[in-house]
Amino acid sequence: LKAANVILEWITNKEQSRIFVAVSLAEGETIRWMIHTHQPSLQQVGLALRTVSGRLLDSSPSYSPDDNVRTTSSLLCFRFFNCDMFYTEDELPLLESNLSSAPLEIRRQFFTECLRLRRKQRNIWADTPLAKIFTPQEQWHLLRSIALQQNIQSILFKMMRSQQVDPVELFKKYDTDHDGSINAEGFQEILRSLRLGLS
């Protein structure tokens, strides 16, 4: 899955509404060529090319800048698509507003799938500002604990895979009273058996 790095901002003629579209580098170069060769089709069309961070790269003569909130708000969606996990306190409410029609679980599933398709090195978001976008506000005080849980799960999964350990068999081995759960001592034994260095 490719990242959105170059964004076309297009002002439609009639309603003066703005459309933001991710374009490839080749498409961006073609649009720049059209702007600089004064193509007749662009005489009345306001176009601008931006980086996903918002920097203006080029624009047509008919382009007029927008209030920064609408532009920033749209670019935040592309950063979300790019699996950016770090947002400022001012950016988070804008992103939340953009995603408000999508339930929390759908947002999380979409983001997780984008991460998987990009094979990002960092794929744990629970300890980043983005976690608030996937978590109900009344649970924000639990975000640190959720991040720790995700980190431990990730480490356990990697170690079991690298050591070719069957998680079901491992669970059965330490579920000594066969009640379907493992107590704290049993969990510590699992960590020791996998040589994770956690206790």
Three-class SS of residue 103?
A: coil
Question: What is the pLDDT, as a whole number, of residue 17?
Answer: 82
Cα 105 from Cα 52, distance rounded (Å): 25
Question: What is the pLDDT, as a whole number, of residue 14?
Answer: 64
Question: What is the pLDDT, as a whole number, of residue 171?
Answer: 80
Angle value at C-alpha 92, between 90 and 95, nearest 5 degrees? 120
Q: What are phi and psi of 84, to 5 degrees?
A: -70, 135
Question: What is the pLDDT, as a whole number, of residue 15?
Answer: 62
Evaluate if residue 64 carries a pLDDT over 70. yes
Evaluate if residue 87 carries a pLDDT over 90. yes
| Alpha helix segments (H runs only) across 37-103 | 68-81, 91-98
Cβ–Cβ under 8 Å, residues 160 and 167: yes
Mean pLDDT of 143-155: 77
Q: How would residue 75 be classed by pLDDT, with cut points 50, 70 and 90?
A: very high
pLDDT tens for 3-59 read: 899 999 988 766 678 889 999 999 999 999 999 998 887 777 889 999 999 999 999
Q: How would residue 91 be classed by pLDDT, with cut points 50, 70 and 90?
A: very high
Question: What is the pLDDT, as a whole number, of residue 197?
Answer: 60
Angle value at C-alpha 145, between 190 and 175, nearest 5 degrees? 25
Evaluate if residue 104 carries a pLDDT over 90. yes
Cα 9 from Cα 164, distance rounded (Å): 50
Evaluate if residue 199 carries a pLDDT over 60. no
